[in-house]
């Protein structure tokens, strides 16, 4: 058909918007969703999320999406489904039925549904059901938080691989210059740039329902700094829980922070605040998350503190003077003499000389005599 209508299907206008990769981190903490059951069940949240994903894919045919579940004991891909390791490179010779096992078509194969929408929906629902079915009672009793740090690291790794796979370099010896995330490739031999690559705008959206992330302070901050270096904005939709460090992630990476006052209106929050990509946000007024909480977590007890002691060598934070005045991270001997309570130093004010009034009996240049004593 291309030869008949003389249309170049591979031509892409340089003025066309760049493809956008949306990586969604869904917090699937069972404890948090149990508290949200009366207002926002998990089934309704997934249905609203699928509508939001379909809207993102409908904006541009080259847009991509990836969904990652941050569970209590592990990280699980919901879409795309990870391929199992194949030990045999040859395909099996057994025939596969066209349709369901009974010869009829599957109920999910709706001819009126857009095929990319159907593929995303099927894989997300199937992988989420398998994740919830694999969660045991011991997993629920072991922890009440979620592995948000591992989810952020996995999302950044996937985005880096997608950026390389989107436009591979022409020279096999060329590599991506990670220090400068500009749309160029650097040659590993002479250090010269080979060619400009097609820009892939990427962003991360976190649907957070858990709190108490102080134990993951260091890996979360490392992921925030990595996203800031790669210019990947991190958007946060706080449905429940206290997200102190995730709010700092939005501020550091230029993302959007939104607190869902009414969890039942999840779809409205997603469509109105998080649907525009990085290209469209240059022409929009983004919602503000208010004042940012810049508190940190101490390295000794993993508590969120406002004032603490900081090691001058490794910058470790402590809620109080450590034992033997020694840093628990690097072993540096801390000088605690300056932190001992001292009385405030008061600076005495200089006394001002009083001015003599005119006509006080003393003439200029004449020294007044003393008061005569009794004879």
Q: Which of 127-131, 224-228, 324-328 has the lowest mean pLDDT?
A: 324-328
Residues 250 and 123 in one domain: yes
Confirm whether 347 is domain-assigned.
no
Looking at the structure, tell me whether residues 51 and 77 fall in a common domain: yes
Query: Does some domain include residue 281?
Result: yes
Contact 318, 301 (CB under 8 A): no
What is the mean predicted confidence (pLDDT) over 341-365?
64
Percent with pLDDT over 70 in the chain: 71
The reply to whether 185 and 123 lie within a common domain is yes
Element (H, E) at 69: strand 64-70
Tell whether 371 is covered by a domain.
no
The model carries a pTM of 0.72
What confidence tier does 371 reach under pLDDT thresholds 50, 70, 90?
A: low
Average pLDDT, the chain: 79
Q: Which residues of 179-297 form beta strands (DSSP E)? A: 184-187, 193-196, 201-208, 234-238, 257-259, 296-297
Based on the domain organization, do 175 and 280 belong to the same domain?
Answer: yes
Name which of 81-95, 99-113, 120-134, 332-346 the model is least confident about. Answer: 99-113
Residue 45 is assigned to a structural domain of this protein: yes
Please, are residues 237 and 168 in contact by the beta-carbon 8 Å criterion? Answer: no
Residue 167: which CATH number? 3.40.50.410
The alpha carbon of 222 is separated from its chain's Cα centroid by a whole number of angstroms, namely 10
Shared-domain flag, residues 205 and 265: yes
Mean pLDDT computed over 55-83: 93
Q: Are 183 and 197 in contact (CB under 8 A)?
A: yes
Between 294 and 239, the higher pLDDT residue: 239
pLDDT digits (tens, 9 = 90+) for 175-187: 555 444 444 545 5
Domain of 169 in residue numbering reads as: 18-83+112-294
**96 falls within a domain:** no
Give the DSSP H or E segment for 318: strand 317-318
Verify that 208 and 310 share a domain, yes or no.
no
Mean pLDDT of 88-106: 47
Which residue in the block uniquely carries the two structure tokens 């503190």?
Answer: 305
Query: Which helix (H) or strand (E) covers residue 77, if one does?
Result: strand 75-79
> What does the pLDDT read at residue 336?
64
* Total structural domains within the chain: 2
Q: Higher-confidence residue: 288 or 15?
A: 288
pLDDT of the residue at 84: 74
Asked if 162 contacts 177 with a C-beta cutoff of 8 angstroms, the reply is no
- Classify residue 374: in a domain, yes or no: no
Q: 198 and 79, same structural domain?
A: yes
**Judging by DSSP bridges, how do beta strands 184-187 and 174-176 pair with one another?**
antiparallel
- Examine the domain organization and report whether 281 and 302 are in the same domain: no
- Specify whether 259 is located in the same domain as 130: yes
Within-domain flag for 323:
yes
Residues 283 and 312 both lie in one domain? no
The predicted structure's pLDDT at residue 101: 45
In a domain, 6, yes or no: no
pLDDT at residue 210 is higher than 70: yes
Average pLDDT for residues 357-373, to the nearest whole number?
59
Q: What tens digit of pLDDT does each residue of 7-64 get?
A: 555 455 566 778 999 999 999 999 999 999 999 999 999 999 999 999 999 999 899 9
pLDDT at 329: 76
* Same domain membership, residue 315 and residue 248: no
The average pLDDT across 316-337 equals 77
Q: 127 and 254: one domain?
A: yes
| Predicted local distance difference test score (pLDDT) of residue 46 | 97
């Amino acid at each position: 058909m291309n030869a008949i209508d003389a249309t170049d299907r591979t031509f892409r206008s340089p003025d066309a918007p760049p493809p956008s990769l949306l990586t969604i981190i869904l917090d699937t903490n069972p404890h948090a969703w149990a508290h949200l059951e009366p207002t926002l069940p998990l089934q309704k949240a997934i249905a609203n999320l699928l509508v939001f994903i379909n809207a993102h894919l409908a904006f541009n045919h080259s847009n991509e999406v990836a969904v990652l579940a941050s569970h209590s004991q592990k990280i699980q891909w919901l879409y795309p489904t990870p391929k199992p390791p194949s030990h045999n490179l040859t395909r099996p010779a057994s025939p596969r039925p066209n349709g369901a096992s009974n010869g009829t078509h599957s109920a999910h194969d709706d001819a009126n549904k857009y095929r990319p929408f159907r593929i995303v929906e099927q894989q997300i629902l199937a992988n989420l059901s398998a994740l919830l079915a694999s969660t045991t009672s011991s997993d629920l009793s072991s922890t009440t938080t979620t592995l948000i740090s591992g989810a952020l690291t996995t999302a950044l790794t996937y985005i880096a691989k997608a950026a390389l796979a989107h436009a591979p370099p022409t020279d096999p010896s060329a590599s991506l210059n990670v220090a400068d995330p500009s749309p160029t490739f650097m040659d590993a031999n002479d250090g010269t740039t080979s060619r400009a690559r097609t820009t892939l705008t990427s962003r991360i959206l976190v649907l957070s329902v858990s709190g108490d992330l102080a134990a993951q302070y260091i890996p979360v901050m490392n992921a925030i700094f990595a996203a800031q270096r790669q210019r990947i904005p991190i958007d946060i939709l706080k449905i429940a829980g206290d997200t102190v460090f995730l709010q700092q992630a939005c501020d550091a990476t230029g993302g959007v922070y939104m607190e869902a006052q009414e969890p039942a209106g999840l779809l409205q929050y997603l469509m109105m605040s998080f649907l525009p990509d990085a290209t469209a946000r240059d022409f929009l007024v983004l919602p503000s998350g208010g004042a940012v909480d810049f508190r940190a977590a101490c390295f000794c007890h993993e508590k969120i503190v406002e004032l603490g002691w900081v090691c001058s060598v490794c910058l470790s934070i402590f809620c109080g003077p450590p034992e033997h005045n020694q840093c628990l991270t690097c072993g540096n001997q801390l000088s605690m003499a300056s932190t001992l309570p001292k009385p405030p130093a008061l600076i005495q004010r200089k006394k001002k000389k009083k001015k003599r009034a005119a006509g006080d009996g003393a003439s200029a240049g004449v020294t007044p005599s003393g008061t005569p004593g009794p004879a």
